[in-house]
Amino acid sequence: MRLQEGLTLVAIFYLSYTQLVKGHTHQDCQTKCGNVAVEYPFGTSPGCYYAEDPSFNLTCNETEKQPFFGNVPVINISQSGQLRVRLLISKICYHSRGNQAANETYKIYLRNLTLSQHNKFTVVGCNSYAYLNTSGVEKYSTGCIAMCDSAPKTKGSCSGQGCCQTHVPGGSTYVNVKPHSFNGHTAVHQFNPCTYAFLVEDDKFDFHALEDLKNMRNVTRFPVVLDWSIGNQTCKEVVGRNICGGNSTCFDSARGKGYNCKCLEGFEGNPYLPNGCQDINECMTSSKHNCSYPSTCENTK
């Protein structure tokens, strides 16, 4: 009898430990910072984020009402494995005689996140060029040249005249953007004193020639998509050991390593919590069903 009781206690302890590790209890965790939802595996305090990876630990700046990844503002978190942030632009500026006035080269190390393939490397300027150097899962370098001798009247198109864009492959954890000029902007200084270079999410930048060549409309950051995942192993390698909750399934990350979780068809919610994925129909029709997820469901008890 004592042996059976001992085994029962061990089983209860193991279950409780497993639930704690998998993040089953998050009643006291901050789930929103400003207008950005912060859900497990992300969190802003110990015990609220996936403990095996510090990349999931965000800081909520109460003054700016914005979550931060290090010193990078986060604008959206997708449970499917994408994190949208705002990254600084790099620029090099000149005086009218071609002497350098400012040189701001931006670089960032993303730790266990990687650059998504849904971004473009962009250069804005006349007689300008820039390099993008990356390393990580993918080591990649590229350049882009933007030319013009007079102010173009282009609006919305980034096709080489004052603006150049190129697609960037995903998988990089280190990014370094370096802007340059062919002649110190001496011939175009009146309407274009600087070369600007930056990463930006696909379809999130429309080139307005006159405003952008002058001062980039005073914009200093652009939205960029990053990929995140759980661990470095595929779904096959973590069968029976992944953190995906009930009514969810595992899929390999777009990063090329690690995995993500998603609710099964007919279920919605947070697939990284044990009971996070709930039946849509049951939630919407049952007056006694306690629905924490999805947010469209309410507890009508």
Q: Using one digit for the tens of pLDDT, what is the confidence trace for 232-265?
A: 999 999 999 999 999 999 999 988 889 999 999 9
Is-cis flag, bond preceding 223, omega within 30? no
Nearest to 255 by CA among 135, 173, 139, 177: 173
Identify the band that residue 96 occupies on the pLDDT scale cut at 50, 70 and 90: very high
Q: Which pLDDT score, from 0 to 100, does residue 23 have? A: 43
118: helix, coil or strand? coil
Q: Which pLDDT score, from 0 to 100, does residue 15 have? A: 37
Average pLDDT, the chain: 86
Question: What is the per-residue burial (b if ≥16 Cβ within 10 Å, else e) of 128-157?
Answer: bbbbbbbebbbebeebbebebeebbebeee
Q: Using one digit for the tens of pLDDT, what is the confidence trace for 126-155?
A: 999 999 999 986 788 999 999 998 888 767
Q: Inform me whether the pLDDT recorded for 66 exceeds 60.
A: yes
DSSP 195-224: EEEEEEETT----BHHHHHHHGGG--EEEE
Eight-class DSSP state of 94: E
Identify the band that residue 1 occupies on the pLDDT scale cut at 50, 70 and 90: very low
Nearest to 60 by CA among 91, 37, 78, 87: 37
Eight-class DSSP state of 56: G
pTM of the model: 0.84
Q: Which pLDDT score, from 0 to 100, does residue 152 have? A: 84
Q: Inform me whether the pLDDT recorded for 213 exceeds 60.
A: yes
Q: Using one digit for the tens of pLDDT, what is the confidence trace for 148-193?
A: 988 887 677 898 899 999 999 999 999 999 999 999 999 999 999 9
Q: Which pLDDT score, from 0 to 100, does residue 26 have? A: 61
Tell me how far CA of residue 145 lies from CA of 98, 180, 181, in angstroms: 19, 10, 10
Q: Inform me whether the pLDDT recorded for 205 exceeds 90.
A: yes
Q: Which pLDDT score, from 0 to 100, does residue 16 have? A: 36
Q: Inform me whether the pLDDT recorded for 3 exceeds 60.
A: no
Q: Which pLDDT score, from 0 to 100, does residue 17 have? A: 34
- Angstrom distance (rounded) from CA 39 to CA 271: 10
Q: Which pLDDT score, from 0 to 100, does residue 2 have? A: 44
One-letter amino acid of 82: Q
Q: Which pLDDT score, from 0 to 100, does residue 286 have? A: 54
Phi, psi torsion values for 71, nearest 5 degrees: -110, 20
Q: Which pLDDT score, from 0 to 100, does residue 296 have? A: 40
- So where are the chain's domains? 20-73, 84-227, 232-301
Q: Which pLDDT score, from 0 to 100, does residue 27 have? A: 66
- 21 against 26, higher pLDDT: 26
Both tokens assigned to 224: 């960029």
Q: Inform me whether the pLDDT recorded for 80 exceeds 90.
A: yes
